[in-house]
Every structure is written in C-alpha cells, then in structure tokens.
Structure 1
Amino acid sequence: MLRLFLKEHAAFIVFQFVLVAFIMMLYWLDGFRNLDTAIYSFVISTMLVIAFLTVRFVKRYHYYQRILVTPQNLEHMLQREGKSPEQIQNEVYLQKLYRLYQHEVQSLYATQNRHLQFMNQWVHQMKTPLSVMHLLLQEEQELDKNSVREEMDRLKAGLDTVLMNARLDTFEQDMQIEQVYLRSLVSEVVTENKRLFISKRIYPEISIAEEHIVATDQKWMKFIIGQFLTNAVKYTFEPNKKVMIAAECSNGNTLLKIRDEGIGISASDLPRVTKAFFTGENGRKTVESTGMGLYLAKEICGKLGHELSISSVQGEGTTVSVLFFDQDFATQEEKNDGSENRRSDQGLRRESDTQGSQPVKLHSGER
C-alpha cells in the first residue's frame, strides 16, 4: 500500500525537492550565505511535505485497501469510500460503467435465452411434419404427393423462420435497400404460398397499383409479408374467405395493408402479439404457432425503418399494416405529364405531391 502511494506521488516529491533547491540557489546567488538558515528552511519544507503526504495517505488508506485486495464480487468495487473529489468522481464513473455492463450482459443473456428457447420449440415442432412423412412412406398404397408437399412446405417455413431469427443479430451485414415495386413483391409472395391458399380455400385479392415503389430490402420484406399471409390463412378456419392486400399513398408515405376475414385477435392479446413466444388465445387453437412470426416482423420493420401496426376485431378479422416512410410515388400519367420537368431536374427524383394525386387501385382478383 505504501509502495503504491509513493509511486503515485514520486513526481510530487521530486518537484518539492527541486523547488527548495532552486530557492536556495537564488538566495545563494543573491549573496545570502547563512548555512543555518538554509538548513532550517530545508528541514521545515521537508516536514511540511511529509505532513501533507501523511494526511493524504490517511485519507486514501481505505481506497488503497479496497483496490489492493481481490474483490469477491463486482459490488465490492462499487462501495463508496472515496474522500477526495477525484475518488468520488471515479466511483461515480465506475457506477455508470457497471450499469452499462449490466445492461449489455442482460441483453446478451436475453438474446441467448431467446435463441435457445426458440430452437428447442422449433426442433419440437419440426418433428411433426417429419413424423407425418414417415407415416406416409410406410403406407402400402400410392404415396400422396400433395400431403408430402404440404409437410415439406411446413418444414421450409420453419427453416426460413429459424434462419431469419439467426440473422437478426447481424441484420446490418445482410441488408440491401433498393427500390422495389410493391405489387410485384406481393404477387411473388402470394405465388410462393399458393398451395397454402388452395388447401385452405382462401382467396387472395391484390389491390395495389403498379406504380407503387418503396425503398426496402426485398428479401426481408418477402419474409415479413409471407408471415402476414401465413397467419391470415392459418387463423381463417372457414373456407371461401378472402385475404385482401392493398396499398395507398399519402404525402409520400406508402401504407401496405393485409386484411383477413379470420377469427381476429382478442383485445387483451392485441398489445402483446409482437412479443417473442407469445401465442395468446389463437395460438392454443393451432399446434403450429411459435409466437415468433410477428415478433420477427416487428424487429425487422424497426431495423428497416418501417412502422408496423396491427388492428383486429375478434370474430371479424385482422388488419396488419406496414408504413413505408418518405417514399416517392407517382402514377404513370404523372410520369408522362411531368417528364420534361423531371429531365430538367436531372431525372433523379419524383415529386410525390404533384397535383395532389391519389394512387390508382387495380383489383386483380388473383386466386
């Protein structure tokens, strides 16, 4: 402890001796030759320095005692024993650093726990389609390809979900923002899920103008829209219902809406449907619910800068909306009318509010 104290104040001690020697030299050059006075001054200065260092050592004794022993836990280092302003500020800094450390540790623990829980749940659910296919292969009659294809689709959907969940932590490394035609994107996702619509006898109805263009990541948005469509079909138990997909533009922002005619979500469950692993009342009605689809959609929308909102009336259906902020939108007629003006502006931007235009809705009636 004393060795640490002397190392910390070595520069101060050397400076004091140099200062006293310098003052003595000035007196000597000025003609002052009294040796007794010089010795007396040197002794007094030394005693004052020793007294100062002693008082300082006593004040820092508990501080040195604490930092020189091996701590039993982190809280041991956060005890408030400082006396000087420097020690007090150092302890405040350590408190803040410790809180930051706790926050990061808790965040990492929550992420790890979420991954572990999701993997355990996912592995358990993937056993179901594998068991079904195994039973189908054991049957003597001709293999039902439609049943096998349905189970394969379930496996593929589960794999896509777990892969997206794994990539969520490194989202920024796997993101590519580009201009995407919204109608083409939605139509592609609907086509990929056509067997699901056919098997449940649910009919998609796309009402999106061809000119709707949004800035987003195409791969991540396909996953999000796929989750919405899967949920819409999964929780629509009656046949011959519709899933309506529409888009509208206002002040440059594009709003994508996906509305189903299913069982809806209860008012008590609605605020929690985007929480991880939350299944609610509807999740208990189907064994395929993981409680991760809307959670991942919410997280991805947040990282892409989009806004996700969900509204529902139990027994009537659910509407999921994604708001794309500050998107340039123009109809084909506006493109033709304003082509000369855009060329003069280097053709790089479209004005979303030209003539207060509204998007043209095309009802495709695709099934």
Structure 2
Amino acid sequence: MTAGWFWRDKAPYLAGLGFSVLLSAVLLWVLSVHPGAIALLCLVFLLGGLLPLTAEYIRKKTFYDEAMGMLDALERKYLFSELLEQPSFPEGVLFCRAMEETNKAMNDALAAARRDMADYREYIETWVHEVKTPIASARLTLENLPGPPLQGLEEALFQIEGYVEQALFYARSGAVERDYVVRPMALRQAASDAVKKYARPLIAAGFSVELEGLDAVAYADGKWVEFILGQLISNAIKYRGEHPRLVFTQSRAEQSVALNVADNGVGIPQADLPRVCEKGFTGENGRKLSKRSTGLGLYLCRTLCGRLGLGFSIASQAGEGTRVSIIFPKGRFYLLGEREELKQ
C-alpha cells in the first residue's frame, strides 16, 4: 500500500475538508474576526481532519505491508488466510473474511477433486489387476502350443502386458506412499530381475547385456525400481542400433550411489534432450523410429524417482547411445546396511 493510493482514495474527503475550511474562513472574515484568529482556527480544523487520516494510513500500511511480506515468504500460499491476523479497521475485516471464504471454497473443491481422483485411481488399479488374469491365461496357452505362427501373438501379449503395467504404475504415481516399502535392495538383483523380465524381447532384438561391478546395496522398493528399469530397457529395445548392447554399472559418490543404464542405440538429438522427460513428448525418434511411442516412459521414470526421493539424470548423444542414472541417496539406513555387509 502506497501513500499515493491512500490519498487518492481519500480525495473526496480531502476536497470536502478543504471546502469546509475555506467556507469557515470566509464566514469568520465577514464577521470581522481577526485574521490571525481565522488562520489559527483553519489550522486547527485542518489538523483535526488530517491527523486521523494520517493515523489511519499508518495503521493500514502496517497491516498490508506485513500481509504482503508474509505472503511473499510463504511457500504454501494457501495458508495465508489462516496466518493473517485480524485487523482493526472494517475494510481489513471484510478482506480477511473474503480470504477465508475463498480459501474454504478452494479447499472444498480440492477435496472433491482428490476424492474423484482417488476413485478413478482405485478403478484403474482394479481394472489392471483384472485384465492381468486373461493375459496370463493367454500366455500359458501359448506356452503349451509353441510354434513360429504364435510368436507374433506372444510379442503382442508382452506389449499389452507392458502397457497395462505402465497404466498401473501411472495410476499409483500420485500416491506412491500407499504401496512403497523401503528395504535393502542389491543393485545387481534389481538389474537382473528387470533383465529377466525383458529377456525374450532382448534376445529377439539381439542384445548383449552386461552387469558390471554391481555390488552396492541401496534402500528402496525393488518393485518400483524394477518398473523404472523396465521402462529404460523397453526404450533401449525400441531405439536400438546395430549390434545392440546394454550395460548396467554403478558409481559411488560421497552422499549417493547410482545405478547407470547405458545403451549404444540411436541416441537422442540434443534439441530433444531437455524435453524427453516431459509427459507425452515423443521427439524426433518417437515420430520416425517407433510407431508405439507414448511419451510416458521417461516421464514416469523421472516422476517416480522424484516421488520416491531418488535422483534421475539422462545424457545422450545422437548416434552414440543413451545413459540414464538412477541415484540413491546415502542416508543413515544405507550406511548401516554397508556396515552390516562389512561385518559379514
């Protein structure tokens, strides 16, 4: 709140005060009152009108300056109305009441939206679990009836299963705390489980897979990490080059350990690299090389890593391949796990 705003708002009052003082001065002059007395009386009238306005300006400026300072300092702006102190002037009281009513309406709308989202997420999770049953039955049928004509159908089932799993984890990504259990997780085991799950498409694509020096133990939920690794493997298969190769390595830092997944595929153009983790972004490779690109794989990887407290980084060079790192922070539990391993 500036002085200009306040005094412009009080312009009608000031005009009335000035007119009253001037009229009083004229009447006193007509009544032959001494000019000194007229001047003194006019000064008293002016001070009597301006001093209360000045006090009001100071009171309101103090309130609004504190309010704006609090608003700027708050990270969660929606708490503003709850922390705002009740002012002593009527306009401020109305302002606070309007803020409270607006905040309450917003909270009600958010609560309703969260309930709708929770219902939809539960429906998706239920649907995914139900649809997995016929997929598993079809897979068993194919295993009992081997043969080249059925190979294409088996690949299609694997793709369907992958999209179903992606839908499940996408639905759960908004509330990972409901199904996230932190346990000691060997990086080699996590990588092996993901590779085993994608063994058939990796073999069919002619991949050479290497697990180099994976001896670290991190604390995470292996199921979520396996899904993230699966998305990376799926991308490596889609965008493979000649003599495809997939290498899992680890790297240690003072406060973290990273699981690195590198391929020698077509790589990502530098123009697309800053956006590859955006939702729905397929980029040049997705448009040219893969008809099945949804633009959700890397988005889910980065989103899930962020919500699980893990780091995620990606580096790539067009024509040379891509390297993705999942970074596990070293906390107290991680260090305790390392000590237990050393004792053994």
When normalised by structure 1's length, the TM-score is 0.55
1:298 corresponds to 2:299: no
Q: Distance in 2 between matches of 1:326 and 1:274?
A: 25
1:255 corresponds to 2:258: yes
Determine which structure has greater relative contact order: mean sequence separation of CA pairs < 8 Å that are 6+ residues apart, divided by chain length.
Answer: 1
- Decide whether aligned partners of structure 1 residues 219 and 144 sit closer, same or farther in structure 2, where only a CA change above 3 A counts: same
Q: Distance in 2 between matches of 1:271 and 1:106?
A: 35
Q: Distance in 2 between matches of 1:108 and 1:270?
A: 33
Give the deviation of 1:167 after TM superposition. Answer: 1.8
Give the deviation of 1:166 after TM superposition. Answer: 1.7
- Pick the aligned partner of 2:327 from 323, 328, 342: 323
1:265 corresponds to 2:268: yes
DSSP-derived class of the 1:144 partner: helix
Where does 1:144-163 land on structure 2 (aligned, <5 Å)?
144-163=149-168
- Pick the aligned partner of 2:246 from 243, 253, 259: 243
Higher helix share: 2
* Alignment correspondent of 2:86: none
* Alignment correspondent of 2:282: 279
Give the deviation of 1:147 after TM superposition. Answer: 2.1
- Decide whether aligned partners of structure 1 residues 241 and 95 sit closer, same or farther in structure 2, where only a CA change above 3 A counts: same
DSSP-derived class of the 2:258 partner: strand
Over residues 306-346 of structure 1, what are the superposed CA-to-partner deviations in whole Å (9 max), with x where a residue is unaligned? 011111111111111111001536999x879x64xxxxxxx
- Decide whether aligned partners of structure 1 residues 315 and 108 sit closer, same or farther in structure 2, where only a CA change above 3 A counts: farther
Structure 1, unaligned stretches of length 5 or more? 1-81, 120-129, 340-346, 348-367
Structure 2, unaligned stretches of length 5 or more? 1-88, 125-134
Over residues 133-152 of structure 1, what are the superposed CA-to-partner deviations in whole Å (9 max), with x where a residue is unaligned? 9xxx9xxxx76232222122
Structure 1 stretch 169-178 or stretch 303-312: which is displaced more? 169-178
- Decide whether aligned partners of structure 1 residues 276 and 331 sit closer, same or farther in structure 2, where only a CA change above 3 A counts: closer
Letter in 1 for 2:297: G
Over residues 55-89 of structure 1, what are the superposed CA-to-partner deviations in whole Å (9 max), with x where a residue is unaligned? xxxxxxxxxxxxxxxxxxxxxxxxxxx94431122
Letter in 1 for 2:279: A
Q: Does the 8 A contact of 1:249 with 1:329 survive in 2?
A: no
* Alignment correspondent of 2:237: 233
Q: Distance in 2 between matches of 1:213 and 1:247?
A: 11
- Pick the aligned partner of 1:166 from 154, 171, 189: 171
Report the aligned-residue RMSD. 3.6
* Alignment correspondent of 1:194: 199
Q: Distance in 2 between matches of 1:187 and 1:249?
A: 20
DSSP-derived class of the 2:248 partner: strand
Percent identity between matched residues is 28
Q: Does the 8 A contact of 1:204 with 1:244 survive in 2?
A: yes
Give the deviation of 1:251 after TM superposition. Answer: 1.6
* Alignment correspondent of 2:318: 314
